[in-house]
């Protein structure tokens, strides 16, 4: 009875599916090995490109400068926080010569570390920066940012309106260093914390981008509020487009479309 049932089952399967055949056994090449995903390749490639004597030396030197100047640098943090919250605090900060000097020292201390951060996580990574080694790539990144600042300073000198108060004009333009300090400090802190917690490089990169975009938008709003006290709103928007938005758009487009 069991033989008849088996035969009938095999006949039914053969009638339904047609000709059947047995696949060959899988060889060792198919039953062993690893699956490589694109994200694993990029992670391995990043791990071989990171580190090295140049980035480590920059971080160590800037850390030593920060430690020896910690008292001066920390004294300006409340003023930076107040400038982010209220536009009038930007005027008060720029009016204080000692606080402005401490702010500038803070920005210069964070600038090399921030360039290392941009290179390490590919935040700004055009082909001509990515191709050389770490030292050359970080140097090119810093040089491009300094060039952008020089172009911005030249435009500010050329486009300065005669009717605007000199202190207000200088305050609005120099406020960039206040918001850069806040951006770099929060980015370095966030990147270090996330790396210690085991977050992916892409998550750290997006966090740095979002922090930079948020502080830059706040800077634009505060600068427009500062300029609006000496000129019309329309003129303030034109100055923002010429001095801030167009140079930054060119800087971002360099990495996106090259």
State both tokens at 162: 């005669």
Identify whether 89 is part of a domain: yes
Between the alpha carbon of residue 46 and those of residues 59, 61, 86, 156, 190, the distances in Å are 19, 24, 40, 39, 19
Identify whether 166 is part of a domain: yes
Q: Coil, helix or strand for 117?
A: helix
Identify whether 10 is part of a domain: no
b/e 202-237 (16+ beta carbons within 10 angstroms → b): eebbebbeebbeebbebbbebbbbbbbebbeeeebe
26: DSSP letter: P
Average pLDDT per 10 consecutive residues for the chain, totaling 258 residues: 45 46 49 44 40 78 86 90 93 92 93 92 81 82 91 88 85 94 94 93 94 94 89 84 87 74
Identify whether 109 is part of a domain: yes
Identify whether 42 is part of a domain: no
Report pLDDT for 184.
94
Report pLDDT for 6.
44
Identify whether 153 is part of a domain: yes
b/e 72-87 (16+ beta carbons within 10 angstroms → b): ebeebeebbeebbeeb
Identify whether 46 is part of a domain: no
Provide the residue range defining the domain that includes 189.
51-256
Identify whether 138 is part of a domain: yes
Structure pTM? 0.76
Report pLDDT for 15.
47
Q: How many domains does the chain have?
A: 1
Report pLDDT for 4.
45
Q: What whole-number distance in Å separates Cα of residue 246 and Cα of residue 232?
A: 20
Report pLDDT for 216.
94
Whether 134 and 56 have beta carbons less than 8 Å apart is answered as no
């Amino acid at each position: 009875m069991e033989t008849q049932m088996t035969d009938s089952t095999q006949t039914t399967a053969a009638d339904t599916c047609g000709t059947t055949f047995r696949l060959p056994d899988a060889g060792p090449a198919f039953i062993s090995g690893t699956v490589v995903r694109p994200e694993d390749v990029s992670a391995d490639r990043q791990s071989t490109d990171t580190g090295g004597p140049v980035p480590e030396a920059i971080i160590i030197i800037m850390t030593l400068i920060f430690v020896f100047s910690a008292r001066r640098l920390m004294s300006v943090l409340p003023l930076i926080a107040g400038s982010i919250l209220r536009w009038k605090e930007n005027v008060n900060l720029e009016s204080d010569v000692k606080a402005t000097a401490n702010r500038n020292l803070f920005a210069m201390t964070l600038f090399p570390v921030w360039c290392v951060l941009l290179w390490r996580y590919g935040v700004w990574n055009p082909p001509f920066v990515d191709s050389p080694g770490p030292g050359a790539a970080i140097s090119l990144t810093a040089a491009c940012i300094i060039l952008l600042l020089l172009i911005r300073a030249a435009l500010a000198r050329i486009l300065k309106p005669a009717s605007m108060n000199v202190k207000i004009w200088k305050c609005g333009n120099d406020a960039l260093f206040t918001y850069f300090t806040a951006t770099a400090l929060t980015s370095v802190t966030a990147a270090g914390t996330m790396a210690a917690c085991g977050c992916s490089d892409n998550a750290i990169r997006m966090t740095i981008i979002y922090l930079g975009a948020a502080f830059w938008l706040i800077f634009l709003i505060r600068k427009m509020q500062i300029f609006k006290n000496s000129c019309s709103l329309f003129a303030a928007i034109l100055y923002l487009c010429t001095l801030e938005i167009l140079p930054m758009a060119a800087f971002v487009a360099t990495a996106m479309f090259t």
